[in-house]
Amino acid sequence: MTVSQQVPRPLVGYREDAARLLYASLKNNGVNFAVFLPDTVLHVVDKLLLADPDIQTVVCSREDEGAAIAMGAYWGGKTPVLLMEGSGYGLAGLILARGVVQRSPLLIISSHNSVLGERFNYHAATRLVAQPILDALRIPYHVLRDVDEIPTVVREVLLTISGQRLPAAILVPRHILIEG
Amino acid sequence: MRRPEFLELFARHRCGAPTVLGPGLAGRELLTLEGDDPTVLYNMDMPYATPLCLGLALSTALPRVVALEGDGSLLAGVPGLGTVGRYRPRNLVIIVLDNEAYGSFGHGEMASATSAGVDLERLGRACGIDRTATVRTLDEAERALARAMAEPGPWLVVAKLEAHGDTDPRFARVPPDVADGGLKFYRALRALTGRDT
């Protein structure tokens, strides 16, 4: 059997119920434009968004580019979300700063965080970059702890984004969307 | 072809299309030509004019959205061309002011990669943008802009320009601050897309 003939074996087990809850919370609160750079933790959420004909999706090449695309979509009248690995903050500092200065509402959902569930050393830089960048730009964020809080957090963060006209982020640790 | 001459031509073809400029002296020149037009957003940080316009183009039925980039800005944002080529919004026009230099300081002494043969039009075509042109004269620019602003895109127009510095006293005025300009641009877009009715 060649490599290409092998049946794909998932490297991780996903909590499909949690992914569906996050996706539904976005949709129920008016998100209708999703930009993402695929990553492991958010993979199932990305797939659900791609499959929804009511939500316009764009797969970007870099996270900073994705933030800019999402901001453009907001200017065009959409309610956008940017989904990415936390490492993307390392690239996106400048455009997020521009978003703050220009008061551009943008919901960011990113995987990884500084302290919860970071078992792999190859995420050492990823783990370090997100929260310091958000803190430096004074972009508010919430680190999810339980699946049950997803609907409330998404709804309330979107209210803040809209009311204050600023970017804000929800950080998704591994245990929210991945089993074991 | 000098940049102010090309921009004058562009201003005639723009017809109010929302336009986002990258950083550099082109902003001062277009500001002088266009006045305080809220449909122009100046000094977008490098390299985000094109992706911002991509998001705007994909999310609206506006007939045209224009990203006005320098060669340096476009070189910094090459991955974004791939995204444009993937989604191909028909209402997006990318115009590159290619003077083969980082020309907003030092009178163009710092050459960009296009001076060494990097071909931005071929780069765009390789990324899947098949409506492209490279123009070297005002006549060529006139023809290319007329098509790019009227025919389905996305378009990539590369304007090869003489490198020159900031010595022209006609263009001394600095564009509005980015917060103020951003708010005016947003309000103009709301009006253009019928969201203020």
DSSP assignment of B161-191, as one string? -----S--GGG-PPPPPHHHHHHHHHHHHHH
Check pLDDT > 80 for residue A8.
no
Is A65 near chain B, with CB under 8 Å? yes
At B108 the pLDDT is: 75
Check pLDDT > 60 for residue A88.
yes
Check pLDDT > 60 for residue A159.
yes
At B104 the pLDDT is: 79
Region of residue B172 (phi > 0: left; psi between -120 and 50: alpha; otherwise: beta): alpha
- Interval A112-123: pLDDT, tens: 888 888 888 888
**Nearest residue in chain B measured CA to CA from A55:** B59
Residues of B in contact with A35 (CB under 8 A): 55
Residues of B in contact with A74 (CB under 8 A): 55
Q: Which residue has the tokens 């043969």?
A: B117
Mutate to test the interface with A, among B19, B43, B58 (most CBs of A within 10 A): B58
Report the alpha-carbon angle A148-A60-A145, nearest 5. Answer: 15
Q: Find residues 7-26 of chain A whose CB sits inside 8 Å of chain B.
A: none
pLDDT-derived band at B8 (thresholds 50, 70, 90) equals very high
Q: Could you tell me which of A109, A158, A165 has the C-alpha nearest to residue A134?
A: A109
- CA–CA separation, B154 and A161 (whole Å): 31
d(CA A15, nearest CA chain B) in Å: 30
Going by the DSSP 8-state scheme, the letter that residue B118 receives in this structure is -
- Say what angle helices B3-14 and B138-148 make with each other, to 10 degrees: 30
Token representation of residue B195: 């969201």
Pairing of strands A167-172, A141-143: parallel
Please answer yes or no on whether A75 and B178 come within 8 Å at the CB atom.
no
- CA–CA separation, B45 and B67 (whole Å): 12
pLDDT-derived band at A106 (thresholds 50, 70, 90) equals very high
Residues of A in contact with B69 (CB under 8 A): none
Please answer yes or no on whether B56 and A59 come within 8 Å at the CB atom.
no
pLDDT-derived band at A14 (thresholds 50, 70, 90) equals very high
Which phi and psi angles does A92 have, rounded to 5°?
A: -95, 10
Please answer yes or no on whether A56 and B51 come within 8 Å at the CB atom.
no
Token representation of residue B31: 């500001």
Residues of A in contact with B56 (CB under 8 A): 72-73, 75-76
Is A61 near chain B, with CB under 8 Å? yes
pLDDT-derived band at A10 (thresholds 50, 70, 90) equals low
Beta strands in chain B (DSSP E): 19-21, 40-41, 65-70, 92-98, 131-135, 155-160
- Let me know if A140 is exposed, middle or buried by CB neighbors in 10 A (0-12, 13-18, 19+): middle
At A9 the pLDDT is: 57
Given a contact cutoff of 8 angstroms between Cβ atoms, the answer to whether A101 and B179 are in contact is: yes
At A119 the pLDDT is: 86
pLDDT-derived band at B103 (thresholds 50, 70, 90) equals confident
pLDDT-derived band at A180 (thresholds 50, 70, 90) equals confident
- Interval B10-26: pLDDT, tens: 999 999 999 999 998 99
